[in-house]
Structure 1
Amino acid sequence: MAERLANKLAVVTGAAHGIGAGVAQAFRREGAHVIGVDLDHADMACDLTDEAAVEALFARIAEQHGAIDILVNAAAFAVFGWIEELSYADWKKTLASELDIVFLPTRAAWPHLKSSGRASVINFASANAYHALEGSPALAHCAGKGGVLAMTRQLAMEGAPHGIRVNTISPGFIRTAATDRHLALDPALKEQVLAKNMVKLLGEPADIAFGAIWLASDEARYVTGADISIDGGATAW
C-alpha cells in the first residue's frame, strides 16, 4: 500500500499548521507532489479569501504543473463568541474564512481538476456541523461548517460528469497548536470533549490525514458526496 498517491499533484491549503500540515506531510510520504498553500511558511503564500490572489495562484500552479489531481481545502479561521457577544464583523469574517476560503480555491482549481480526469477534492466540515459542544461559543463556526457540508454535496453533483469526486471529513476535537491554546486557557474543555467522545482520546492531525489519504486515492473511486466523521464517536450517540 506504499505510495498510494504516487504521480498525483496535490494542492493543500492551510498547509503550514495543524490538520493541513499533517495532511501535506502524509501525502508526501504516499508519493504525491504536494504544493502547500498558506498565508506564510508554505510552498506558496496566498490570502485565500482574496479572489484575485486565488485566481492568480491557481493559474500559476497550472502553468507550472498542469492538471491538479487533488485539492485539499484545509485552510479555515473562526472567531468564537456567544450570540450576545459576537459582532456582525466577526460573524462575516468567520463565514468568509469558512466558506469563501473553500469556494474560491475550488472554483479557481476546477478547470485544472477537470483536466486530471480523476480528481479528488477534500473539504473539511466539523463535528460542530452536527452538534453543539456544551461550553463552546461556536455559533459562526457551526454555521460555516454546516455550509461546507451543503457545498460539498452540490460540488459532487457538478463534478461527477468530469471525473471530480468531492467529499468532506468532519473532524472532532483535534490537538493542534491552536486547540492546545484553548485547552491551556480552559482546563475543563478537555473533560467536556472526552465526555462526548466514545473513544476517550483527543485526536491528532495524523488521524485526519489517514482518512484524507484514502479519499484522495483511487481506492475511493466510488465515493463522492460523502462525509466521513473522524471524531472518536462524538457524533454517533
Structure 2
Amino acid sequence: MLISGTAGGQGRAAAKLFAQEGATVVGCDIKAAENDETARMIAEAGGTMNALTLDVTDLVQARQWIDYAVSRYGGIDVLYNNAALERFAPFAEMSADDWHYAQRHEQDVVFFPTQAAWSHLIARGGGSVINTGSVSGMRGSERIGSIGHAAGKGAVIAMTKQLALEGAPHNIRVNAISPGPIDTPVTAAGLAADPNFRLTYEGWPLLHRTGKPDDVAYCALWLASDESGFITGINVPVDGGWSAKGGLTAKSGDLVGLQATTAS
C-alpha cells in the first residue's frame, strides 16, 4: 500500500499501524530524515516500509512514486492520500500566493497520485483509495483563518464522491476521512503560540479531548480493509463529534476563566 506524508503525525501513525497489520508500505514525504526515521521505527517493530523522498504536488514525482511501487511489488491495492500543507489567513488578508499554495498542497496532492495510480488499480481488479479531507471542508471554523484550507478540503471531499462514481465499474472504492482537532507536530506549534486558540481548539469536540493520529489511522485501516467492502463515496468525520454541533462545547465565559486560570 502507498501512504503520502509519512514523515510524522497522521501519516507516520498510519504507516506504523498498516505495517503492524502486515501491509508492505511505500511511503513518501518531502522531509527525508523524518521519513527515514518512520521506516526505521517500522523495521525495528518487524514491519516493512520503503521511504521515498519526493513531492506529490509535482505530477512527475507523483508518477515516480506510483511506478516504483508497481515495479517493485507488482501492483497497488491501497492508496492513502494523507499528505497536505496549509497556509492560514483571514479571507480579506490572504495573498494570491498563499491561496494558490493552499490549493496546490490540498488538491494536487490527491489528484496527481490518484490519477497516476488509476490504471494500475483497474489492472489489479480494484482497490481502495482514501483521501484526507477535513472538518474545515464541511463547515466554517472559528479563529484559524481557514478560507484556503476550507476550499481545498471541500474540493477533496467533492473529488472523493466523483472518483467513487468513476471507480465503481472497476471495483475501486474511494472514501475520505475528515479529521477534526488532532494532536500532531504541525498543530502543536500553532497551539503553543496562541493560548486562546488552544482553548478554542480543545473546545471543539463533544468528547472533551483532542484527537490522536491513531484515531485517524484506525479509520483508514478500516476503509482499506474488506470490512468496508460495500462502502464507497463517503466522508467520515474523525472529530470527536465536532461536526454534530454548533459553537464551542465550553461557553465563552468558561473559556475566559479557563484562560485566566491557565495563565496563572
Name the TM tier (shorter chain): over 0.9
1:135 positional shift: 1.1
Does structure 2 retain, via aligned residues, the 8 Å contact 1:66–1:112? no
Query: Relative to total residues, which structure has the larger helix share, 1 or 2?
Result: 2
Q: Which moved more, 1:33-42 or 1:145-154?
A: 33-42
Using structure 1 for the length normalisation, give the TM-score. Answer: 0.93
Aligned to 1:72: 80
Q: Counterpart of 1:142 in structure 2: which amino acid?
A: A
Deviation at 1:51, TM superposition (A): 1.2
Q: CA deviation at 1:84?
A: 2.2
Match of 1:3 in 2: none
Counterpart residue number, 2:169: 161
Of 134, 157, 178, 1:149 maps to 157
CA contact (8 A) 2:90 2:145 kept: yes
Q: 1:221 aligns with which of 222, 229, 233?
A: 229
Contact 2:181–2:202 at 8 Å: present in 1 too? no
Kept in 2: contact 1:156–1:167 (CA 8 A) = yes
Aligned to 2:193: 185
Residue type of the partner of 1:213? Answer: L
The number of equivalent residue pairs is 228
- Does the Cα contact within 8 Å between 1:77 and 1:98 map onto a contact in 2? yes
Q: How far off is 1:227 after superposition?
A: 0.8
Aligned to 2:212: 204
Higher CA-based Rg: 2
2:181–2:204: 8 Å Cα contact kept in structure 1? no
Query: Paired residue for 1:26?
Result: 17
Q: 3-state SS of the aligned residue for 2:99?
A: helix
Equivalent residue, structure 2, for 1:52: 60
Partner of 2:4: 13
CA positional deviation for 1:54: 1.5
Q: Which amino acid aligns with 2:70?
A: A
Pair 1:137-2:145 in alignment: yes
Aligned-partner Cα distance in 1 for 2:127–2:94: 38
More deviation, 196-205/125-134? 125-134
Deviation, 1:133, is 2.0
Is the 2:181–2:205 Cα contact (8 Å) retained in structure 1?
no
Give the partner amino acid of 1:24: A
Distance in 2, matches of 1:29 and 1:230, equals 21
Q: CA deviation at 1:55?
A: 1.7
Compute the displacement of 1:219 (Å): 0.6
Q: Partner amino acid for 1:182?
A: G
Higher relative contact order (CA 8 A, sep 6+): 1
Stretch deviating more after TM superposition (218-227 or 112-121):
112-121
Q: TM (normalized to structure 2)?
A: 0.84
What is the aligned-residue identity percentage?
41
2:123 paired residue among 111, 115, 126: 115
Q: How far does residue 129 in structure 1 lie from its aligned partner after superposition?
A: 1.0
Matches of 2:140 and 2:10, distance apart in 1:
21
Shift of 1:188: 1.6
Structural mapping, 1:68-107, within 5 Å:
68-107=76-115
Q: Distance in 1 between matches of 2:87 and 2:75?
A: 35
- Please list every run of 5 or more consecutive structure 2 residues that lacks an aligned counterpart in the other structure: 36-50, 246-264
Q: Is the partner of 1:133 in helix, strand or coil?
A: coil
Regions of 4+ moved over 6 Å: none
Q: AA paired with 1:173?
A: P
What root-mean-square deviation, in Å, do the aligned CA atoms of Structure 1 and Structure 2 show?
1.1
Task: Say yes or no: does 1:233 pair with 2:260.
Answer: no
Deviations 1:108-150 (A, max 9, x none): 0111122332410000111101222211111100000000000
Distance 1:64 1:111 in 2: 17
Between the aligned partners of 2:236 and 2:75, the Cα distance in structure 1 is: 26
Task: Supply the distance in 1 between the matched residues of 2:140 and 2:218 (Cα, whole angstroms).
Answer: 26
Whether 1:170 and 2:161 are equivalent positions in the alignment is no
Equivalent residue for 1:125, pick from 113, 116, 133: 133
